């Protein structure tokens, strides 16, 4: 089970939020209008960062194929995750992670490419592959697939989970 993050800001974004609150408090105490402007500007940038994440990338579905379909204990297989992405504006790169069950071992993480605007086309498909090794016998389910993106300035992050 994966713990879901509720805080949308990165360390840089959290620092900017603390700085903006400090500027607002200092502007009130010292009577400096410039600090008030700076604090409000930082808050506006943080709001724009969060909005840019929720208005851009939309992940449609995740389809996985495994070759070979059946993996014995100690054997390896290649899993290819095909992620369909629907987006209207260009998006920055991100990272992906596929959750592996206890019966399979391997590293199912990597980078996700930046995508150009999809206004002319409907949706795009991105394929990512990784290798798994059978650890125990049984039927094992892969997933969910998680995609984490950040805004261009690295202030906020969004984690989208699909394919549960």
Q: How confident is the model at residue 125 (pLDDT cuts 50, 70, 90)?
A: confident
Q: How confident is the model at residue 84 (pLDDT cuts 50, 70, 90)?
A: confident
Nearest to 144 by CA among 53, 64, 70, 54: 64
Nearest to 158 by CA among 55, 19, 20: 55
Ordered strands of the 94-98 beta sheet: 109-112, 94-98, 145-150, 157-162
So where are the chain's domains? 11-54, 58-162
Average the pLDDT over 17-41 and give the result: 95
Half-sphere exposure of residue 3: CA atoms within 13 angstroms, side-chain side: 3
Give the ranges where the chain is alpha helix by DSSP (H). Answer: 11-30, 33-55
**What does each C-alpha distance from 57 to 12, 92, 108, 129 come to in angstroms?**
22, 9, 21, 21
Q: When comparing pLDDT for 63 and 60, which is higher? A: 63
Average the pLDDT over 76-85 and give the result: 90
- Is the overall model pTM greater than 0.85, yes or no? no
| Choices 2.10.109.10, 1.10.10.60, 2.60.40.10, 1.20.1240.10: CATH for 58-162 | 2.60.40.10
């Amino acid at each position: 089970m994966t713990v879901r993050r509720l805080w949308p800001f990165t360390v840089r974004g959290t620092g900017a939020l603390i700085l903006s609150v400090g500027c607002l408090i200092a502007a009130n105490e010292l009577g400096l209008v410039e600090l008030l402007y700076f604090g409000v500007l930082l808050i506006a940038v943080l709001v724009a960062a969060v909005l840019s994440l929720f208005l851009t990338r939309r992940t449609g579905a995740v389809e996985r194929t495994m070759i070979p379909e059946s993996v014995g204990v100690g054997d390896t297989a290649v899993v290819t995750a095909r992620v369909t992405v629907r987006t209207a504006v260009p998006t920055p790169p991100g990272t992906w992670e596929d959750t592996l069950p206890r019966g399979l071992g391997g590293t199912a993480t990597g980078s996700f490419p930046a995508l150009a605007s999809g206004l002319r086309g409907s949706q795009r498909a991105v394929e990512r592959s990784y290798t798994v090794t059978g650890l125990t016998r049984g039927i094992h389910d892969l997933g969910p697939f998680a995609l984490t993106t950040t805004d261009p300035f690295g202030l906020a992050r969004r984690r989208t989970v699909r394919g549960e």
